[in-house]
Amino acid sequence: MSKPFQIALGILAAIGGFVDIGDIVFATTAGATFGYELLWATVLGVVGIIVYSEMCGRVATVAKRPVFDVVRERMGFGFGLATLVSSQLVNLMTLAAEVGGVALVLQLLLGLPYRGLVAVALVTLLLSAWFLPFEWIERVYGFGGLLLIVFTVAALKLGPDWQQLGAGFVPGLPSHGTELLWGYFIVGLVSAALMPYEVYFYSSGAVEEGWKPPDDLGLNRLNAGLGFGLGAFLSISLSVVAAQLFLPRGIDPEFLGTVGLGVLNPLGQIGLLLGLLGIFFAVTGAAIDTCFSGAYNLSQFFGWEWGKYQGPRGAPRFTLTWIVFLGLGFLIILTGVNPIVVTEYAVVFSVVAMPLTYLPILLVARDEGYMGEYANGRLGNVLGFLYLGVIAIVALSAVPLLVLTNMGQG
């Protein structure tokens, strides 16, 4: 396989892998509540994940350190352990949300009872993670996630008001609804784009795949920039569909089924099936990534041998960790808790813990001692610190807004 082709495949997989249950829930609800007016918030979040993951990828490639390696080194055991515990709790919440999301979409496709489908989801995840090689996981679920492009087609077919849509990319106060609710959705959209498991997985993946400077640094930038950047289109499409179909009818999307209506109405049965399949692949992929992230973090922090490439014999504690993690996520969903609700909590709380993992990465990425000539340039530093500020503001306002808006109910 030629190198450019491989790179293109990687980017396609990244695009398809961008969307997870958090993006689906928040993008759809934001569109149904504020129309096009919050598209800029999605962009703000996406640029954030591009900046963060580019730094993580660069640190992993040059300094050979994935995220929790850096956390342990720079923060020491005390602060580092606190960071680890909070990150793992968020990871677990996220995993439960994704597993539940898989069960929900399977239910919409097959109509079978929910509990049984939760078990099906667990088995699918377990078998995929155990038997599929690392690259195959990314390819299968990444390309499958690309089916979500059907939402972009739906958005175009519904014929949006392009002027209003364009205006949505400019930040501004809402034309209706309370400012608190508006703030809550900004937090949700930025946070859903910046889900931490994505960078844990991305940086560990860079080490797993043996990325070396300088060649793979370009690949890093492409994956981060194009992969996540274009992936944002899928998220934006969900909002645009919701703005056209749900906002005028006063529909507050509370179910994954409502999201399905977004493709069913403009594109008919084919649209519905492709859309649901797209959601299945995207959310299943996210579940696997999250489950591995939990194992990566723990192993890296304690210095265990880690890596999917090592196989179960090569990295046994790492393997046991992701299996246990998956089991815990499954148990949480089995309690009958609504996955959509878990998703909202996971998205909001993940940004609260984010400054703790973002800051050490930023410090290392700009440190010439670690990075040599590949340390942050002027632009890298400006963006890096700018987003530290954005993340800090979002992190501080997240829980108050969650409480004050009663989880987005107004």
Partner 1 sequence: MLVLVAAVGVLSACKGGAMTPWRLQQDADSLASIAADGELLAGETAKGESTGPFTTVHARELRQEADQLADVVASTEPDPGLARPTAQLATTARAAARVLRRLEEHPGDEDVAARVGDRLGAIADRAEQIGKQA
Partner 2 sequence: MTERKAIDLGLGVLDQELVDADGGRCGRVDDLELIGGPGEPLRLTALVVGPATWAARAGRVGRLAGKLYPDGETVVPWSEVADITHVVELKKTDAELGLGEGDERARRWLSRLPGG
Establish if 270 lies at the interface with partner 2 (CB under 8 A).
no
DSSP 172: -
Report residue 103 CA to chain centroid gap. 18
Note whether 45 and 192 are within 8 A (CB).
yes
Q: Which does 245 bind (CB under 5 to 8 A by kind): partner 1, partner 2, none?
A: partner 1
Note whether 217 and 58 are within 8 A (CB).
yes
Establish if 355 lies at the interface with partner 1 (CB under 8 A).
no
Establish if 162 lies at the interface with partner 2 (CB under 8 A).
no
What's the closest the beta carbon of residue 15 comes to partner 1, in angstroms? 26
- For tokens 């640190």, the residue is 59
CA–CA dist 169, 347 (Å, integer): 22
Please identify, using beta-carbon distances, which residue of 60 and 242 lies nearer to partner 1. 242
Establish if 268 lies at the interface with partner 1 (CB under 8 A).
yes
Element (H, E) at 242: helix 229-245
What's the closest the beta carbon of residue 67 comes to partner 1, in angstroms? 24
| Binding string, residues 359-378; x marks residues near partner 1 by CB under 8 A | --------------------
Q: Which does 15 bind (CB under 5 to 8 A by kind): partner 1, partner 2, none?
A: none
Window contacting partner 1 (CB under 8 A); options: 8-16, 102-110, 154-162, 191-199: 102-110
CA–CA dist 240, 255 (Å, integer): 17
Establish if 393 lies at the interface with partner 2 (CB under 8 A).
no
Q: Which of 252, 320, 336, 386 binds partner 1 (CB under 8 A)?
A: 252
Window contacting partner 1 (CB under 8 A); options: 14-22, 268-276, 283-291, 316-324: 268-276
What's the closest the beta carbon of residue 206 comes to partner 2, in angstroms? 14
Please identify, using beta-carbon distances, which residue of 115 and 317 lies nearer to partner 2. 317
Establish if 335 lies at the interface with partner 1 (CB under 8 A).
no
Residue type, 232: A
Q: Which does 18 bind (CB under 5 to 8 A by kind): partner 2, partner 1, none?
A: none
Note whether 5 and 221 are within 8 A (CB).
no
Which residue, among 246, 319, 239, 234, has the nearest Cα to 282 in the 3D structure? 234
Which residue, among 28, 20, 50, 51, has the nearest Cα to 382 in the 3D structure? 51
CA–CA dist 90, 213 (Å, integer): 32
Please identify, using beta-carbon distances, which residue of 35 and 384 lies nearer to partner 1. 35
Establish if 22 lies at the interface with partner 2 (CB under 8 A).
no
- For tokens 């939990």, the residue is 294
Q: Which of 107, 128, 310, 381 binds partner 1 (CB under 8 A)?
A: 107
What's the closest the beta carbon of residue 93 comes to partner 1, in angstroms? 10
Q: Which of 4, 78, 159, 250 binds partner 1 (CB under 8 A)?
A: 250
C-alpha distances in Å from residue 288, one per residue of 87, 96, 281, 387 = 16, 11, 11, 27
Q: Which of 265, 277, 302, 396 binds partner 1 (CB under 8 A)?
A: 265
Establish if 85 lies at the interface with partner 1 (CB under 8 A).
no
Establish if 313 lies at the interface with partner 2 (CB under 8 A).
yes
State whether residue 304 is helix, strand or coil.
coil
Which residue, among 92, 77, 83, has the nearest Cα to 302 in the 3D structure? 77
Q: Which of residues 131-150 bind partner 2 (CB under 8 A)?
A: 131
Q: Which does 378 bind (CB under 5 to 8 A by kind): partner 2, partner 1, none?
A: none
Asked if omega into 214 is within 30° of 0 (cis), the reply is: yes
Establish if 251 lies at the interface with partner 1 (CB under 8 A).
yes
Note whether 360 and 70 are within 8 A (CB).
yes
CA–CA dist 174, 33 (Å, integer): 10
Q: Which structure tokens are listed for 387?
A: 């987003």
CA–CA dist 21, 115 (Å, integer): 19
CA atoms within 13 A on the CB side of 377: 4
Binding site for partner 2 (CB under 8 A): 63-65, 69, 72-74, 76-78, 80-82, 85, 130-131, 301-306, 312-313, 315-317, 319-320, 370
Binding site for partner 1 (CB under 8 A): 107-111, 245, 249-255, 257-258, 260-261, 264-265, 268-269, 272-273, 276, 341, 345, 399, 402-403, 406-407, 409-410
